[in-house]
Amino acid sequence: MTIISAAGLRKDFTVRVKAGRLRRERRTVSAVDGVDLAVERGEMLGYIGPNGAGKSTTLKMLTGVLAPTAGEVRVCGLTPVAQRTRLALRIGVVFGQRSQLWWDLPLRESFGLLRHIYRVPSADHAARLRRCRALLELDAFLDTPVRQLSLGQRMRGELTAALLHGPEVLFLDEPTIGLDVVSKQAVRGFLAELGATGDVTLVLTTHDLADIERLCRRLVVVDHGRVVHDGTIEELHGRYGSRRVLVADLDAPLPAGFAVAGATVEAVEADGHRVQLSLDGGVGAGTVVAALAGAAPLRDLSVREPAIEDVVARLYRS
Amino acid sequence: MHGPTATADWISWPRVRAFGALAAAGYRRHSTYRQAAVAGATTNVVFGFIKVYVLLAVVAAGGAAVGYDRRQIVTFVWVAQGLLTVVLMWSWTELSERIRSGDVVTDLLRPLPPVVAYLAEDLGRAGQAVLTRFLPPVVVGALVFGLYVPGRWFTVPLFALSVLLATVCSFCCRYLVNATAYWLADARGPIVLWGVGSGVLAGLYFPLRFLPDPVAVALWVATPFPGLMQTPLDVLVERDGPALQCGLVALQAVWAALLLLACDRTQRRAERRLVLQGG
Ligand SMILES: Nc1ncnc2c1ncn2[C@@H]1O[C@H](COP(=O)(O)OP(=O)(O)O)[C@@H](O)[C@H]1O
Ligand SMILES: [Mg+2]
């Protein structure tokens, strides 16, 4: 069942730009330029693109705080701008740069307030809060005023706040921006758990591909307000030849002449104890890791995603 | 398209509870600033002494007590010092700052009208100020000078109602002044203007009864300002007969209703602008 649909969605902004010493000219910027989108209930969608691509603008139109210049939008069967307050009860929204918590109050009290604002039965509220407390490890700072929280702690609070009324759709705009590595992992892990339940539809915007690997089956890439790719991450890499890099630390040197289908050995360092492989498009890291583990004992592994800017650049070249 | 945000559509039992919870949050938010409360109350007391001696000197020199006796004048000053932070005539820029930073978008993502949410928090703030900012100057005034004791049984409850209405009117004025930030790049101009004008016109610095009658009447009927400060004070010191005493509070209620309506309209216009032009 389709829960979000957009057809020909467009947003033009009129901006005044300097033209000469005194003159100012009005110019129209198409921040979103004809986006078509259909998202099924329970889907996890990564909405990615470089800075200024129109991600936040799209999200604002889907959540009802910005009126489209043209096009049709339906979310949860409602028209977002016209039915904004009704929609607000059924969606959760986190804008990475903004806070919906009460600055001077402890996190716990913000959560209590949200229960009244969203008119949530207290048993439901308690159950959801219990789950978030466990998964996001909130207990250590539940009684700390929000203004004293670190960015990572605050973001975990924001995610909880957005989920306490049991939204059908969760919109996240750059939820990992500015976070340290540990907090990023915590947020990504939490979202993966959330997605696995299938109760909530997730739309996540980011300019960091690492946010959505393993999280979102489906990827929509936008640039200059237009959708330039809609499919899986493997398809994206497959189509445009962008390559992920696998770095493995080994307990024993890699046997000379090691080869595996779907990957190319790019470098062998530290007397064969560290190896870098680039993965062919469409190849999952799992098969390569298995082959590697068969050849030498593995100590550590990491996969580096290509930067979205590179992917988009390749996309244009092709 | 703006039906759901209309403030008047927004009354039901769970919503009244939400209003209460927001007011309680406003109360607790302001309880956290203890040092500021002590410093503020001290300042109000110090200025209370200065104002009392100036006004008493003026009255003694000119003899024009304009219908107040010495005890009423003293009460007028000390209660005004106490009400100052309850009614909160100035120094509220929260909304304009949120508009400027764009955080106001998160207010629109809530299932309740922003005017209602801000009003609830402001009433909670006022409740907190009654304890920490109203009582100290009033107690000092009572101990040092002795205050006027009302003679009519209904004066004290009427005063409480009048203070509540004054707070609502003040909230609305502050909201409207802050809301200019939706249209102006910088709302500091209107905020400063309001800060200077409201104190004088509300009777904070001298009782408005010192003004010529036509001017005073025009102020009362045509502007909300006397309702912010002068009305609750006159109600408490029983400056007028019972009919006029109640009539002034009724006038405050009319102004409160008009101002709430103005806030609602302004907010809806601002939202329309915001959703069209982006934050
Ligand atoms: N309120 C606005 N007024 C004028 N231009 C805007 C406004 N909001 C966004 N833009 C412009 O629209 C484009 C897309 O912005 P945005 O949606 O924030 O991109 P992203 O979130 O992908 O980084 C940018 O060029 C930005 O400058
Ligand atoms: Mg953005």
Report domain extents, chain B: 13-276
Q: Which residues of A182-196 are buried (b: 16+ CB within 10 A; e: fewer)?
A: ebbebbbebbeebbe
Residue scoring higher pLDDT (A207 or B162): B162
Q: Which residues of A touch B278 (CB under 8 A)?
A: 11, 13, 57, 60, 66
Domains delineated in chain A: 2-238 (3.40.50.300), 243-310 (3.30.70)
pLDDT at site B2: 41
Mean pLDDT on A251-262:
81
Instruction: Decide if B236 contacts B212 (C-beta within 8 A).
Output: no
* A70-75 β-sheet, strand order: A24-40, A2-18, A70-75
Please state whether the predicted TM-score (pTM) of the whole model is above 0.90.
Answer: no
Contacts of A215 (CB under 8 A, 6+ apart): A44, A46, A188, A191, A192, A195, A204
CA distance B164 to B86: 9
State the pLDDT at residue B275: 81
Helix (H, G, I), strand (E, B) or coil at A91: strand
pLDDT confidence of residue B4? 45
Matching residue, tokens 């020199």: B61
d(CA A96, CA A201): 18
- Residue ID of nearest Cα to ligand 1 atom 27: A52
Between the CA of A96 and the centroid of ligand 2 the distance, in Å, is 9
Q: Do A119 and B29 touch (CB under 8 A)?
A: no
Among candidates A63, A67, A83 on the partner chain, residue whose Cβ is nearest the Cβ of B109:
A63
Give yes or no for residue A112 CB within 6 A of ligand 1: no
Outline where chain A has alpha helix (H).
55-63, 84-88, 107-117, 122-136, 151-163, 181-197, 233-240, 285-295, 308-317
A209, pLDDT greater than 60 = yes
The pLDDT assigned to B211 comes to 87
- DSSP of A174-203: STTTT--HHHHHHHHHHHHHHHHH-SSEEE
Task: Please report, in tens digits, the pLDDT of each residue of chain B (279 residues total).
Answer: 344 444 555 567 778 889 999 999 999 998 888 888 889 899 999 999 999 998 888 877 766 567 788 889 999 999 999 999 999 987 789 999 999 888 899 999 999 999 999 999 999 999 999 999 999 999 999 999 999 999 999 999 999 999 999 999 999 999 999 999 999 878 888 888 888 888 888 888 888 888 888 998 999 999 999 999 999 999 999 999 999 999 999 999 999 999 999 999 999 999 988 887 776
For residue A13 and ligand 1, the question of a CB distance below 6 A is answered with yes
A9-59 pLDDT, tens digit per residue, is 999 998 888 877 878 888 899 999 999 999 999 999 999 888 899 999 999
What contacts B192, CB < 8 A, 6 or more positions away? none
Among B7, B97, B275, B277, the strongest candidate for a mutation testing the A interface, having the largest count of A CBs within 10 A, is B275
Q: How many angstroms separate the CA atoms of B53 and B63, rounded?
A: 14
Residue B207 near residue B58, CB atoms below 8 Å:
no
A52 CA from centroid of ligand 1 (Å): 6
* B22, closest residue in chain A (CA to CA): A113
What is the per-residue pLDDT for B67? 78
Give the C-alpha separation, A79 to A292, whole Å: 52
Residue ranges of E strands in B138-270: none
Mutate to test the interface with B, among A119, A122, A144 (most CBs of B within 10 A): A119
Which strand ranges, in their side-by-side order, compose the sheet holding A169-173? A91-95, A169-173, A201-206, A44-48, A218-223, A226-231
